[in-house]
A and B are shown apart, each in its own frame.
Chain A
């Protein structure tokens, strides 16, 4: 086997290798005739016929409004019909290989690779102006659109797309190129847009400001590096520059002295720039040191910048150009003396059953662990399986000399390489490097495989790597459900046999597909396997099976789901009330929720529900009263409803409620009368308040009538009157009243209320009427009448009390100290 280094090109200070990955499987595709976009990370290629190119009709495939989707190995996946009238202005890929298309009316659509629309987003505009796209650019999670009227719209996050507008400088003029700095790279966390124009300006626009830089010549091409740190631009006179994206440093100026504009600028490993000159079919590689390398081709090229290199697509093949990592150089580099290289050689001699290797390895045991990891790392870079094997073998032999080497790194690499080799095969055609694989992660890789309907491979990978496989199975089942050749029974059987014992499988999502394929029975059967009710219920409602939905909702006691079913039942015209009650019967939880809901929204239904449920008549009466208290109805109506409630209370023999309500009706009638006569608000007041108000107005006769009508106890009547008089400060009247009639509540309240209203002199009137001498003393003391207090104490012959009074009294008062 030849040494891999023979394919390396030394360039600048490094070695580069251009590796052939695939011979294209397609026939007679001329890249020249197409606009091309490829998904990053070895993803799919989309080809759209370029209308501006004149093509020999014979040579092209006939489907006019189609985007052709190929793998990197040139295997046709699908022809995606993008619609009739609309013209595609830009397109690109998401990381999980969904195609993003920007149409000329600013509509953005995300398609799956088989042409199903997954998401559509338009600019919603109130005055229904149509925004026409001038320039657009798509990146894996968003898009930028510049309209013909110079408005700039940004979409970030395609899973929940929304438009944000950036303000555009007025002197934008004719645009020569437009480039995006992804939000994750920008300082502000927002998408930044770079726009160059014919007037030699470069604008840097973000969400709240625009920066304008004037250049000496016009910029024709812009390209941000894969890490987002650098920006390469090409000028009209053939100068290539590299600057930092914060515009603080300038790294490279390289003069081509050619006025031919490159078709593409691309990056290789974030420091080297590649220029694709279409007309000469030349690829020029420029290093930071200004040294350059030329690759000549005899066919058109398309360049796809990857994280760790560049994918080159031609009519006939797919190549990958990248830097050769140091570990690999150390092993295979000619004349390399690194220990990893020695280890590799030693392992080769083992193969030849020579013992020479043993000596070599034992010579520098301290360097062995690093050499082993280097061999493992190197194997990750290599594409050829036999070379991978040799490197891993070298690592394995080295490992056998060590007791404590952590086996995991080796085992994990073997597993990962096996997965990678599988997807790198022609059939799947995804030339992922190990670095790229680390970056996108296994989840996204699995997602891509499922999207491409490689369910079996995806499943095997999950099993091999021991990760959750429910997602793969569910998506497989969703496809299975669509099968038209098999019967429902067969489908169910094969789904259950594969998924029945798995955990976390969402049967609801499978059932939902079955339903959309109008296989209702199958859907219901599938739903039975669903564990989560919140998944079952909405689907059952969709399937117009509210009865079952309600049962499932109650089973899990989730009020939200129960409400969902109830609302459906109430709002669906073709369900009449009888079947509603039938569905509800014996389902207390649902009934209680319905009652709660009806109390707010639908009283009529509630009465019928009560009678259906044979609720106590008392409850019906109370319900009537609630209704009668509502401020939406007039007084007559209120009285009418309250009268109706009397019947219900009568039936339930609830004398108390009946009497209270009768009282209330009487009260309201009286209040109505007062209200008319006195032009004051009475309705809404309690019996106490009404009486008090009458007394405050000096309408003693009416108040007495209230007392009589409602049998207000004497005590309480006195209290009401006392408060009313105090409120109106009618102290004289109060005193006359106290003198004329004997108070059933004593005279303490009189004193208290006078003190509270700060009329101490009035209070003094009542203290002699107070029966309890202690209370008398207490009141006198509160009013600072120490002599009177002392008198009482003396009268009561209570020495202690007298002492107490004296202790509180001012010294200048002559209070006797003994009785």
Chain B
């Protein structure tokens, strides 16, 4: 059933709750530390995160008059106190500096009164950023602070650093963001207690786990807290880049594929939600507060519609109880339930409209079905689809979707033959442009696209067989492979193996070692004897946080939730991640952003010139008309 019910009584929630409260309180303290009216200028990146920890009306209560997205564009305001809320990134610093300098210049009239500028870094101030601000000439008039929001509670069981750049950084060989991941994990341990056992697989995971241990020594973490999370399994996206290439077929994953979900928000056309007469996009919140959604999110798309039908019947039968009401008491009972029924009714309406729109875009679309067919054939039988890919390129279909299937095939069959490899790459460059040499190079470096090197023992076919990844019967039994219609996400499978009492660490280690990476291991963190004793008294299933370095997909999140319900493991899983990702985002992160700008600039310039010319023309015409009129009038007068 819904994941919410399962989690209600978990001890770990207490720690997590206190972390949540701490973050919210810290933010309110920041607001209070700046007395009087203020405007918040916020990194657009952070708006979503902020909305997850508090509600916008709360800002008004704390004298926040405006919430302005950070940019270099000047804006005018009467508000004296400007609070910047920014990520510690070099690019943001320039914008902060621009704003401060502009506002200082506007203040020349009241010469000696300083404007009040506050810059809060999220989650931490860096020396570099301060230095850059200093170089840009603003530091003197600024008060600095920190807002320690690193892991953002996306839901009761999902915690994300929301660092969308994490994967791109790894692509470029920059692993510095691991340091901040480590800080975040140390930080959360001061709320949920020290996690006694750490497992890791993958290069980055290994570095991270070592960093965690060292950082714990440096910080004075309280080891007397009862550990509320017993295991931490750190996994590396790099070891399974195949799964994200596969189309996500669970409800939430599908919404992400089709419309995109950012910080639990999906921006949808109003007609998708069945609201007519509106033009502006609607933001739909997708989390477990919507009870219906929490039941739907993990279901395979094929099961969503039948489920909704069942639900609709139950709602209408609830309405019917009114007719059966025999006396005032019955009626009173009904009225009591009414708000709940109505809420459920509204939510049901929204999800039905959404499901219909998804249906039209998927099962009602032969392109989509064709694509799915090829994907499944690849996954299940390693059946190649060169012609299909070639066709897609010839038809100049969206490059991201082309690369997704191309990479999927490359990873499934262990690479293309020399000639094919060059052929596809050439086709892509000729069709989509020269700048994609970088895209192809990055994909190659990541091992997502490669030349075959004969038969490899580590091939996907072997993995599929050894780990039993394909389950054709997913529709009848509850199995997490349903999120990809029969293909089980590899990392989730490995987590299942690790915590399955019949398999365990040794099996896990062998598998990882044989098929994925040499970097696999486990480490223990010391906890106090008292904490150890207290931990023994916990009767619930211990909690394991699976932390995805480099991103997790919604399908994988759902797979983990289903795994929790399958009752085959000794632990209850929750999820931590650097960010939530999908195939499109991964492919896109390999794009070099150079030429885009030029083209856009040229286009902008072109349009601007066009506009100017148009305006000039209009003015000319106007003047001509005026002249004409004048002449006519003069003529009249003469007459």
Contact = CB atoms under 8 A, between A and B. Distances in A.
A123 B174 CA distance: 45
B172 A622 contact: no
A151 B173 CA distance: 58
Contacts of B35: 189-190
A30 interface: no
Most chain A CB atoms below 10 A, which of B114, B393, B426? B426
Contact of A687 (B207, B215, B430): B430
Contacts of B441: 622
> Interface SS of chain B: helix, strand, loop or mixed?
helix
Contact of B438 (A163, A626, A631, A710): A626
A163 B115 CA distance: 9
B394 interface: yes
B597 interface: yes
Interface in B89-147: 108, 110-114, 116, 126-128, 131, 143
Most chain A CB atoms below 10 A, which of B111, B176, B214, B215? B176
Contact of B594 (A151, A561, A626): A626
Interface string A643-686: 00000000000001101110110010000000000000100111
Contacts of B602: 681, 684
A559 B179 contact: yes
A560 B126 contact: yes
B434 A660 contact: yes
A564 B112 contact: no
B175 interface: yes
A160 interface: yes
Interface residues of A, number: 68
A255 interface: no
Most chain B CB atoms below 10 A, which of A151, A593, A595, A631? A631
A473 B176 CA distance: 35
Interface string A609-644: 000000000000010011001110000000000000
Contact of B431 (A131, A631, A667, A716): A716
Given A567-B131, A622-B437, A131 B112 contact: yes
A165 B179 CA distance: 43
A556 B218 contact: yes
Interface string B572-608: 0000000000000000000010110111011000100
A693 interface: no
Contacts of B431: 686-688, 716
B480 to A, nearest CB: 35
A684 B127 contact: no
Interface string B427-442: 1011111110110010
B425 interface: yes
A340 B289 CA distance: 61
A550 B131 CA distance: 18
Given A656-B425, A660-B429, A745-B394, A593 B176 contact: yes
B434 A531 contact: no
Given A532-B218, A622-B438, A626-B438, A557 B595 contact: no
Interface string B196-229: 0000000000010001001100101000000000
B113 A630 contact: no
Contact of B433 (A151, A595, A686): A686
Contacts of B172: 592, 596
A74 interface: no
Contacts of B539: none
Contacts of B595: 629, 684
A56 interface: no
Contacts of B390: 715
Interface in B606-638: 606
Contacts of B88: 560
A660 B437 contact: yes
B430 A686 contact: yes
Given A660-B426, A688-B430, A165 B176 contact: no
Contacts of B220: 503-504
Contacts of B114: 124, 162-164
Nearest to A619: B441
A126 interface: yes
B396 A631 contact: no
B367 to A, nearest CB: 11
A285 B312 CA distance: 82
Contacts of B599: 684
A43 interface: no
B178 interface: yes
A563 interface: yes
A129 B111 CA distance: 10
Most chain B CB atoms below 10 A, which of A163, A567, A716? A716
B340 interface: no
A723 interface: yes
A715 B422 CA distance: 18
B127 A126 contact: no
B36 interface: yes
Contacts of A716: 393-394, 427, 430-431
Interface of B: 35-36, 88, 108, 110-114, 116, 126-128, 131, 143, 172-179, 182, 207, 211, 214-215, 218, 220, 390, 393-396, 422, 425-427, 429-435, 437-438, 441, 592, 594-595, 597-599, 601-602, 606
Report the 4 A-B pairs with minimum CB-CB distance, sorted nearest first: A559-B176, A686-B433, A687-B430, A560-B126
19 contacts: A123-B112, A131-B112, A162-B116, A165-B110, A190-B36, A538-B127, A558-B179, A589-B175, A592-B172, A593-B174, A595-B173, A622-B438, A626-B438, A629-B598, A660-B437, A681-B602, A684-B602, A685-B433, A715-B394
Given A162-B114, A567-B128, A712-B430, 7 more contacts: A165-B113, A557-B182, A558-B179, A560-B88, A656-B425, A663-B429, A719-B396
